[in-house]
Chains A and B, each alone.
Chain A
Amino acid sequence: GAGVSQSPRYKVAKRGQDVALRCDPISGHVSLFWYQQALGQGPEFLTYFQNEAQLDKSGLPSDRFFAERPEGSVSTLKIQRTQQEDSAVYLCASSLARVGLRKDTEAFFGQGTRLTVV
């Protein structure tokens, strides 16, 4: 595809339910990021992959959050036992950049998945 694709666009989950959010990055992009955007706030970093390796997961708010990118392309963000404070837009971004060769490479964002926990 031409851009970063995320699915589903909207997800309503009952409190305690597990959810899985999918990200299809731009083909060939090495780096993949997940961000969480609360209503009226800027995106906040969750985790980073270079190919299939998860190199930084310092932003994951709890052990209920888990991300994977097993073949270095599609990524899934899983949230277990969802809580109301997990309600947010989850954004995925990808870029060509790799460590040491970043320069001015741009990060392209998907449209996000809006998660509402009720």
Chain B
Amino acid sequence: QQQVKQSPQSLIVQKGGISIINCAYENTAFDYFPWYQQFPGKGPALLIAIRPDVSEKKEGRFTISFNKSAKQFSLHIMDSQPGDSATYFCAARTVFQGGKLIFGQGTELSVKP
């Protein structure tokens, strides 16, 4: 049962544009919402993360917006660069035990020069 839904599945953006990826979750027993970036042949790497008591977090060109009442959060990549081309995963960490991550299906981002 999918608890984190991610869209779009793929995204093409021009260099300098804004990339926006959206996620929605179905379970309230989550305490941490990270975004991971994955390049081909590599493991996921943490990009930015937010706790549910915060509505927005910005780190450089990357911003997470979090809407607790709607159970939605999104990643905005400002001034997108060709080097940002990768697959992005949103995730939600469960409250229980060690905090396993529930991942979205992924968004393949391509930034055109």
Please give the residue numbers on chain A whose beta carbons come within 8 Å of chain B beta carbons, in ascending order. 4, 31, 33, 35, 40-45, 48-50, 55-56, 59, 91, 93, 95, 97-99, 102, 104, 106-112
Q: Which chain A residues border B34 with CB–CB below 8 Å? A: 106-107
Q: Within the complex, which residue of B6, B43, B97, B105 is in contact with A91, where a contact is CB–CB below 8 Å?
A: B43
Contact at A110–B43, with CB atoms within 8 Å?
yes
Q: Are B51 and A31 in contact (CB under 8 A)?
A: no
Sample of 14 further A-B pairs with CB below 8 A, known A42-B6, A43-B44? A4-B43, A41-B106, A43-B101, A44-B103, A48-B100, A50-B98, A93-B101, A98-B98, A99-B97, A102-B31, A104-B32, A104-B51, A106-B34, A111-B41
Tell me whether A109 and B45 are in contact (CB under 8 A).
yes
Q: Which A residues touch B101, using CB under 8 A?
A: 33, 35, 43, 45, 93, 107
- Chain A's closest residue to B102 (CB) is A45
A31-B98, A33-B98, A45-B100 known; A40 and B45 CB under 8 Å?
no
Please tell me the number of chain B residues within 8 Å of chain A, measured between CB atoms. Answer: 26
State how many angstroms separate the Cβ of A60 from the closest Cβ of chain B.
Answer: 12
Chain B residues with CB under 8 Å of A59's CB are: 100
**Which residue in chain B gives the minimum CB-CB distance to A110?**
B43
The residues of A that contact B89 with a CB separation of less than 8 Å are 42-43
A53–chain B nearest beta-carbon distance, Å: 10
Please list 20 pairs of residues, one from A and one from B, whose beta carbons are closer than 8 Å in the complex, sorted by A's number: A31-B98, A33-B98, A42-B105, A43-B89, A45-B101, A48-B98, A50-B97, A55-B97, A56-B97, A59-B100, A91-B44, A93-B101, A95-B98, A104-B32, A104-B49, A107-B34, A107-B46, A109-B36, A109-B44, A111-B43
CB neighbours of A49 from chain B (8 A): 98
Most B C-beta atoms less than 10 A away, residue of A35, A43, A56, A98: A43
Answer yes or no: B99 CB below 8 A from chain A CBs: yes
Does B42 belong to the interface (CB within 8 Å)? yes
Whether A97 touches B43, Cβ cut-off 8 Å, given contacts A42-B103, A43-B89, A102-B31, is no
Chain B: which residue is nearest A111 at the CB level?
B43
**In the complex, chain B residues whose CB is within 8 Å of the CB of A45:** 100-102
